[in-house]
Every structure is written in C-alpha cells, then in structure tokens.
Amino acid sequence: MSTLAADYEKTEMGTIQIAPEVIEIIAGMATVEVPGVAGMSGGFAGDIAEFLGRKNMSKGVKVEVGQREAAIDVSVIIEFGTRIPEVASAVQHNVKQAIESMTGLSVVQVNVHIHDVIFKGADKVEEPETLAQRVK
C-alpha cells in the first residue's frame, strides 16, 4: 500500500501525528458498514494475511495523507442485486464523514473501486438436477 507520512501538527502541548495506517483502518471500517458492501478486496498480500488468521481492517484501502488533507481509495466487493452507484456513493459519504469527524482532516477524494460482485449464500453449492429428477 502506498501511503505518505502525515506532517506533524504542533500544539502548545506538543505535536500530533496520525499514522496513515489509522486512517486506513477508519476508512475500512466505514466502508464495510455500508449496506450492499460484501467485503473488501485487498489483493494477494491482504488475502495471505487473512489466511494466516490475522484480521486486516485496512485491507483494500490506500491513503495519501498530508498535514490537513487526505485522499482515499477503497476496493470493494458488492452484493449481487444492489445498485452499485448507490452503494458506491454511500461508501464515499460514510468514509468521508468518518475520517473528517475522527481526525479533523479534510477528505478531498474517496475513490471507490468495485472489484467483484458476490451472490448472497454463494458458499452454498447446489447439486445439479439429473435427468431422472427432471423427468417423471
């Protein structure tokens, strides 16, 4: 994942820096909260981490962070039957609102990349009908 380190914000008590990984986690959690999002698509490295039992909350998220602004890219898997433009718009709104409210950063972009569509109950494999079952 390509991230840029955020600049330090100086206050009278010291400095504040929010790590890009924190913003990735916020964006990932805000994305999966949206109805119609089946999951995140994180590519090969993200899939290996989950296979090894490590939950990766920033899977499928790339951020670029400056001192006052952030740009976010999320890669998602959508549930079949949902309206993709509506889900993508809801993801953009939810991610922007979550990051701005939690970090104070201004979100200038939220790019949503749809990588797959999954059927509800896709893990169930139905047996095909045989000729004897179809004809009586």
Q: For 27-61, what is each residue's pLDDT tens digit?
A: 999 999 999 999 998 765 445 445 445 567 788 99
Question: 């805000």: which residue's tokens?
Answer: 30
Rounded to 10 degrees, the C-alpha dihedral 2/84/36/118 comes to -80
CA–CA distance, 42 with 96 (Å, rounded to integer): 20
Q: For 79-122, what is each residue's pLDDT tens digit?
A: 999 999 999 999 999 999 999 999 999 999 999 999 999 987 65
For the entire predicted model, the pTM comes to: 0.75
Q: Given 3-state DSSP classes, what are the helix, strand and coil percentages for the chain, each rounded to the nearest 5?
A: 35, 30, 40
